[in-house]
Amino acid sequence: MFGAVGLLVAGILLTAFLALTIKRNVETVARRELDFTSNEIRRTIAERLADSAQALLACAGLFDASDTVTRDEWRTFTQRLKLDQRLPGIQGTGFAQLIPRGSLARHVQDMRGSGFPTFKVWPEGERATYSTIVYLEPFSGRNLRALGFDMFTESVRRRAMERARDENEPALSGKVTLVQETGQDLQAGTLMYVPVYRRGSLIDTPERRQAAILGWVYSPYRMGDLMRGTLESWELKLTDRPLFLRIYDGDSTSADNLLYDSRGGDVDSAMSAQGELIQKIPMDFAGRRWTLLFTQRGELVSGPALLSIVVFFTTGTIISLLTFFLVLSWLGTREKALRIADQLTGEMREILWRMDSIIEGTRMGTWEWNVQTGETVFNEQWANLLGYTLDELAPVSIATWERLAFPDDLKKSNELLERHFAGELPYYDLESRMMHKDGRLVWIHDRGRVFTRDGDDKPLMMFGTHADITDRRNAEAALLQSSEENRNLLGELQHRVKNSFAMISSMMGIASGSDASPETKATLEELDSRVRSVSELYSLLYSSGSFTELRFDNYCAKVVAPLVGLNDNITLSLNLESLMVTAKKAAPIGLILTELMTNAVKYAFPEHRRGTIFISLKRTDAGAVLEVRDDGIGLPEGFVAGSAGIGLMLVKALVKQIDGAFAMEGNADGTRCVLEFPLP
């Protein structure tokens, strides 16, 4: 009786352990996804600040190239930069002139004579020098309030201005309240400065720069407006687990240092929700540190993954119960046991076959360890992972593992074991190296947990698994050496990617059923086209046996075929030259082709009009040219590519990503789109 109960308990415990292991793997993937997305957003913000600094350097160059810069010249130059379109979210671009005390009256008189009769330098008061704002474009709305403001009177601004002056570099200020604020939609602010020196002055030392300073070109930023303009493309990321961002000035994450909160709520409640992942990333730029605090809300394990875990645990429990009752029956009477066995023989054989198949298919080594005595039990696969058989290692004990473990990893292993024994860690989890029989090092993912303790609460029995992750670690090392951008292309769930694409496509197909609005159906069809584009890329890479490059002409043909099938009145003409393209470049080009084909199918042939879409791919001296042309109705009158919808915005972003060039033209004979991109 006790033996049957023990068998039942062990079976349920083992099932629970394996279910928790699966859950932990799913959570690990979610955390890696958060880490990748957070770093991409940090990079996007840093690039936007760098672009803003470059624009200010261009403005400073205007002063360097001119004896004087008038207000009209400043307005013309800044309007030509089109910063409101290229870098949305910037409050303005201005120039603050340094005025000695002796020149203040003349400066005020000149400003009043140039069309500002009520001009004054404010705040008022006697000072050795003044730094009055004289130019600020666009000179309208909130910006009208800033004319004449002496930024040297405020300590945070002054420190940034002096740092820019002394270092001859762009300088970002700390958190301030901009003078442009009106009391409505109040936002935290910051400013970036670039120094302007008198022409012909020596500026090779801080002292000479201080003597030669003429003023500063600068941009004020309302943080809410700046982040909306910068992060617009990230608003739909991780919609099943919303991702929120707070930005703090400096290392402290106190409310006083808060620059931006994407939720718009109070800071305290942002940290109180359950089921959140938090990622803190520092970002240094122009002499200032920002702390980016990401919060991802929602359960890490949900949907199909949670269902799989529940099914696995339920199946394991049922197997344990069946085994328990079988043992009870055998202990009761042989005749009853035989009768029950006859009924369950076929079912049990299938269950045992499935269990053996799972163990064989996963190639997992298993181990059991009596922590107090050092006795161990390894399965055959545990020894096979290191090139041995169990007979070659016999007799086995904990010393067998210590002898085969790589010495440099033993210290870390012992630390994690002690923390797990003390209850600080729920599991023992380590990726370490072990010695193979042929002398090479093998990477092993070692996981386990203490399941029983003695009367003094000391660890007694511990169970765990070994998995060979050498290929994965080698692949990760190779990816890190080749390109930082490719390090997340291959994950540990690679074999599920194709099924995931199919699941996504099916879910969108269900969502676009008869109850969906036409707008929703159109949006889902476009998303499905993009998913199919990436899915075809993965299929070609997988079938070719290479994850680095593929036959791009074959990929183009597979991407466009299902799109043309959406309209029976359209004929497809392909002229594709055979060429190889890297996977990194094929993915964005495939999405660009999908967007252009989708637009042609949807808009070029209205009212069941018949026509042809021509696609050509040719190699050039500089790389390759992909052309999508149709003989449809052409572009709408007054159409401007830069003001198009999300599809062409995506095309523009992807073209920039591959360092390519894109052009679109249309007339009564149809529309022609040309993409030029370099090849390695």
**Would residue 329 count as lying in a domain?**
no
Q: How many CA atoms lie within 13 A of 52 on its CB side?
A: 32
Residues 582 and 476 grouped into a single domain? no
Q: Are strands 611-619 and 570-576 parallel, antiparallel or unpaired?
A: parallel
**Would residue 469 count as lying in a domain?**
yes
**What mean pLDDT is predicted for residues 599-619?**
91
What is residue 296's predicted lDDT score, i.e. its pLDDT? 81
- When pLDDT is cut at 50, 70 and 90, the band that residue 269 belongs to is very low
Residues 480 and 559 grouped into a single domain? no
Q: Are strands 213-222 and 428-435 parallel, antiparallel or unpaired?
A: unpaired
**Would residue 390 count as lying in a domain?**
yes
Helix (H, G, I), strand (E, B) or coil at 477: helix
Dist. CA 147–CA 95, nearest whole Å:
10
Question: How many DSSP H helices and E strands does the chain contain?
Answer: 20, 21
| pLDDT digit string, tens, across residues 222-267 | 999 999 988 876 654 544 567 889 999 999 999 999 999 988 754 4
**Would residue 562 count as lying in a domain?**
yes
CB 449 within 8 A of CB 359: no
Mean pLDDT, the chain, whole residue set: 84
* Angle (deg, nearest 10), helices 497-511 and 518-544: 170
Q: Give which of 219, 174, 216, 214 is closest to 194, Cα–Cα.
A: 216
For the cut 50, the answer to whether the pLDDT of residue 677 exceeds it is: yes
| pLDDT digit string, tens, across residues 380-393 | 999 999 999 999 99
Helix (H, G, I), strand (E, B) or coil at 444: strand
Residues 576 and 461 grouped into a single domain? no
- When pLDDT is cut at 50, 70 and 90, the band that residue 268 belongs to is very low
Among candidate residues 205, 228, 251, the one where a domain is terminated = 228
Residues 63 and 184 grouped into a single domain? yes
Angle at CA of residue 335, ends 331 and 338, nearest 5°? 85
Tell me, what amino acid is at 494? Answer: Q
Residues 470 and 553 grouped into a single domain? no
What is residue 358's predicted lDDT score, i.e. its pLDDT? 72
Q: Which two tokens stand for residue 460?
A: 């007694």
Residues 551 and 669 grouped into a single domain? yes
- When pLDDT is cut at 50, 70 and 90, the band that residue 458 belongs to is very high
| pLDDT digit string, tens, across residues 426-457 | 999 999 999 999 999 999 999 999 999 999 99
Q: Give which of 559, 540, 560, 557 is closest to 548, Cα–Cα.
A: 540
For the cut 70, the answer to whether the pLDDT of residue 640 exceeds it is: no
Among candidate residues 167, 197, 228, the one where a domain is terminated = 228
What is residue 58's predicted lDDT score, i.e. its pLDDT? 95
Among candidate residues 203, 228, 253, the one where a domain is terminated = 228
Q: Which two tokens stand for residue 551?
A: 């036959």
Strands annotated E in 179-250? 189-197, 213-222, 243-249
Q: Is the dihedral of CA 508, 510, 511, 515 positive or negative?
A: positive
Residues 54 and 176 grouped into a single domain? yes
Dist. CA 238–CA 37, nearest whole Å:
9
CA distances from 616 to 229, 601, 628, 655, 662 (A): 36, 17, 7, 18, 15
**What mean pLDDT is predicted for residues 91-111?**
95
Q: Give which of 673, 659, 664, 580 is closest to 627, Cα–Cα.
A: 673
User: Cα 620 from chain centroid?
Assistant: 34
Residues 131 and 218 grouped into a single domain? yes
Tell me, what amino acid is at 504? Answer: I
Neighbouring residues of 350: CB distance < 8 A, sequence distance ≥ 6: none
**Would residue 376 count as lying in a domain?**
yes
Dist. CA 158–CA 344, nearest whole Å:
84
Angle at CA of residue 135, ends 133 and 138, nearest 5°? 120
Residues 456 and 581 grouped into a single domain? no
676, exposed or middle or buried, with CB in 10 Å at 0-12, 13-18, 19+? middle
**Would residue 1 count as lying in a domain?**
no
**Would residue 250 count as lying in a domain?**
no
User: How many domains is the chain partitioned into structurally?
Assistant: 3
Dist. CA 665–CA 629, nearest whole Å:
10
Q: Give which of 619, 635, 620, 630 is closest to 563, Cα–Cα.
A: 630
Neighbouring residues of 508: CB distance < 8 A, sequence distance ≥ 6: 524, 527, 528, 531
- When pLDDT is cut at 50, 70 and 90, the band that residue 304 belongs to is low
User: Cα 483 from chain centroid?
Assistant: 16
Task: Identify the CATH number of the domain in which residue 665 sits.
Answer: 3.30.565.10
Residues 570 and 667 grouped into a single domain? yes
DSSP 334-392: HHHHHHHHHHHHHHHHHHHHHHHHHHHHHT-EEEEEETTT--EEE-HHHHHTTT--HHH
Bond from prior residue into 195 cis (ω within 30 degrees of 0) = no
What letter would DSSP give residue 122?
Answer: B
**Would residue 579 count as lying in a domain?**
yes
| pLDDT digit string, tens, across residues 18-46 | 767 776 776 777 788 888 888 999 999 99
Q: What's the domain range around 562?
A: 547-678
Residues 480 and 552 grouped into a single domain? no
Task: Identify the CATH number of the domain in which residue 152 sits.
Answer: 3.30.450.350
Q: Are strands 243-249 and 171-172 parallel, antiparallel or unpaired?
A: unpaired
Tell me, what amino acid is at 530? Answer: R
User: Which is more confident, 503 or 95?
Assistant: 95
Task: Identify the CATH number of the domain in which residue 427 sits.
Answer: 3.30.450.20
What is residue 523's predicted lDDT score, i.e. its pLDDT? 58
Out of 144-153, 499-508, 532-541, least confident range: 499-508
Residues 64 and 133 grouped into a single domain? yes
Q: Give which of 573, 669, 663, 569 is closest to 625, Cα–Cα.
A: 663
- When pLDDT is cut at 50, 70 and 90, the band that residue 492 belongs to is very low
Neighbouring residues of 447: CB distance < 8 A, sequence distance ≥ 6: 21, 427, 428, 429, 430, 464, 465, 467
Q: How many CA atoms lie within 13 A of 378 on its CB side?
A: 24
What is residue 101's predicted lDDT score, i.e. its pLDDT? 94
Dist. CA 219–CA 226, nearest whole Å:
11
User: Which is more confident, 639 or 225?
Assistant: 225
For the cut 80, the answer to whether the pLDDT of residue 520 exceeds it is: no
| pLDDT digit string, tens, across residues 309-359 | 677 778 878 887 877 777 776 666 556 655 665 776 777 677 758 766 776
135, exposed or middle or buried, with CB in 10 Å at 0-12, 13-18, 19+? buried
What is residue 185's predicted lDDT score, i.e. its pLDDT? 83
